[in-house]
Amino acid sequence: MSLESELKDKLNPEQYRAVTTLEGAILIIAGAGSGKTRVITYRIANMLEKGIPQSAILALTFTNKAAKEMEERIKDLTGKKLQNLTVSTFHAFGVQILRQEIEALGFRQNFSIYDETDKKSLIKETGRELKYTADALDLYKISVLFSDIKTGRKNWESENDMYRQLYEEYQKGLKLYNAVDFDDLIVLPIKLFHEHPEILEKYKNRYKYIMVDEFQDTSHQQYEFMHLLSDKNIAVVGDDDQSIYSWRGADYQNIVNFEKDFDVTEIRLEQNYRSTGTILAAANGVIKHNTNRKDKELWSGNGDGKPIEVFMPENEAAEAECIAEGILGIGTDENRNYDDFGVLIRANTQSRAIEEAFLENNIPYTMSGGTSFFERKEIKDIISYLRVIANHDDDINLLRIINTPRRGIGRVTIEAISEVAKRMDLSLWEAIQALFTATEEECPVSESTLEDLKAFTDIIENAKSMLGGKGLSKKVRQLVDDIKYFDYLIGENPKSEKSARFKFMNIESLIKSMEQWENNPNYEDTSLYAYLNRITLLSRDDMDDEQDKGKVNLMTVHASKGLEFQVVFIAGAEEGLMPHAHAVEEGGDAAVEEERRLFYVAVTRAQKRLLISSCKFRRKMGGSIECQPSRFLDEIPPNLVQYHEPSKEVEKEKAHELLQNMLKNFSKPRVPKL
């Protein structure tokens, strides 16, 4: 079958129009479950079929997972190798530009990318140098403020002006250490394009066709980034009803800006392929209460399905038990696997009671948003070694490893090196090199300490072969052996060798995943720089964890975006949680609309069954407070809902029926097939 025949066969009329309209500015409003990914992948396949070169196409999305899925689908559709096609996250594309062009901004090509932990370490270090009090150094608050300043969401005002000097010194620190933070991955390419029009022209001449996925999640900077790059052939795909990330700078008003800045053709995808008619009618009923949105009505050809069930348990313990029993009961009745279930919460604090109930009932689960693999201490230690090998001037990571494993370089030595670095305006690495050439009178550290420092710098220098060539995983394994990291773990965990072995197994997992990445034919560049770029930009949700298969998915509603489950439980549909009290206090009516969009996202994750719980009481601040059902429950058309109130007396006939059903369930195996 030719691609053209396949398009006509597999796409509805609106999808077909979105796929075949290649020229001009296109706004594709894609409702939840409307086949958005299919449209994007078929559209790119159609471009390639029409003779548009791979190198002329740029597709931008928000997660590595989405980018990877797109590439694989396009490959399947076209049967072509995609070496010259750019399908990337915004931040990864920013890195790609900076690796080529950053020298124009006064940085060196081997720059480090600081994650949130590194960023806070630099803020803390800078704050100490400027004699800020411990009370004034609220690292989370300052980190958010610096992001807001850098990305233009806030300006210096009287309330935060006290941090202005700290910000300026933080920026100088980044430059000194040849490092950029996560915000810089978008901000600096924009700066490049403004200050060096010839660089902008180079990229504009290359990318003649641009596509942006999840457009409602773009920030002002991301919009400016794509606007600068795009000439006229740009297609954006999004849904204003699923804009739930304003707290990290997303602005669904970009849809309005796009319509102002371009001569736009609008295409709406309203047929939903995911959910039953009942679930969609509930979602439509809720979201229409938002005033600031494009009017649309999702519909489904999947039949009405079962009513939405709403439970009113006494408290969070009863709620958790209700969810656990629901999973076991539905799993048995409908022969479902554990990973068919999604349990969605508004706040991480809700997870404890649910996790306890899962453990009590032997229900395997995975919790999204826990400690990232790359945030574990042993993994960060090894990665810090790799970052310093790649960029000797990365002070934050150098400080992490200079005495890990312990090699006699204590606090006094580090302070002496820091003093030299400060006085001579050097990085710590350069300051150490200066000590090696200093006279005995000038040198602030002892001869034995110098030997310890030399042993450390030799480890880093001897690992230079990692920078080029193949066999990165073997070299990393050798490095782990050379620094005797396992012995260090044993020493750090004297009471539990098991714990030390577990941590070392994590390092082994890291090396094995590195090996898999090296051997993947889709990756041409397997240098240390490429690897560090990749893992810096990976989030936990992007990790393909085979171990999570066959488990119930417990996650926040934010983490569930883009996912779908046969059966969804929404826990905590109460005022104060949905909508969240803090959000409403801070943001008023606009925040209520965003919270409603969040509830809408939660509802539209469900394919076959939707169960919602709203507690009567919930623990708070050591006591118990009475809860009110969420206003969003009232917005679901009542004919779609079946309410369960355990506290109400049940009629005799009904009780008999319930008892018979329970007995029937107990006669079956309690655990779904895996």
Whether the ω angle into residue 579 lies within 30 degrees of 0, i.e. cis, is: yes
Beta bridge partners of 341: 567
Amino acid identity, position 176: L
Task: Check if the beta carbon of residue 36 is closer than 8 Å to that of residue 64.
Answer: no
For the range 73-81, what are the long-range contacts, defined as Cβ-Cβ under 8 Å and sequence gap of 24 or more?
73/37, 73/38, 73/41, 74/41, 74/44, 74/45, 74/48, 77/3, 77/6, 77/41, 77/42, 77/45, 78/3, 78/45, 78/48, 78/49, 80/48, 80/54
Comparing CA positions, the residue from 529, 533, 407 lying closest to residue 458 is 407
106: left (phi over 0), alpha (psi -120 to 50) or beta: left
- The C-alpha atoms of residue 300 and residue 30 are separated, in whole angstroms, by 14
User: Residue 494 burial (CB < 10 Å; 0-12/13-18/19+)?
Assistant: exposed
CA distances from 271 to 29, 602, 635, 655 (A): 11, 18, 22, 41
Residues 6 or more apart whose CB falls under 8 angstroms from that of 667 comprise: none
3-state secondary structure 30-84: ECCCCCHHHHHHHHHHHHHHCCCCHHHEEEEECCHHHHHHHHHHHHHHHCCCCCC
Tokens, residue 70? 């797109």
Residues 6 or more apart whose CB falls under 8 angstroms from that of 668 comprise: 332, 333
Other Cβ atoms less than 10 A from the Cβ of 526: the count is 18
Tokens, residue 126? 């800078």
The dihedral sign for the CA sequence 290, 292, 295, 296: negative
Active site residues: 36-37, 213-214, 242, 605
Any idea what the Cα angle at residue 336 is, between residues 330 and 339, rounded to 5°?
110
Helices (H) and strands (E) in the chain, counts: 28, 19
User: Residue 37 burial (CB < 10 Å; 0-12/13-18/19+)?
Assistant: middle
- Secondary structure class of 289 (helix, strand, coil): coil
- The C-alpha atoms of residue 86 and residue 476 are separated, in whole angstroms, by 29
- The C-alpha atoms of residue 572 and residue 318 are separated, in whole angstroms, by 12
Task: Check if the beta carbon of residue 633 is closer than 8 Å to that of residue 612.
Answer: yes
Interhelix angle 652-666/316-333, rounded to 10 degrees, is 60
Comparing CA positions, the residue from 209, 246, 248 lying closest to residue 91 is 248
Instruction: Please list the alpha-helical segments (H only) found in 250-315.
Output: 254-261, 277-287
- The C-alpha atoms of residue 447 and residue 506 are separated, in whole angstroms, by 37
- Secondary structure class of 342 (helix, strand, coil): strand
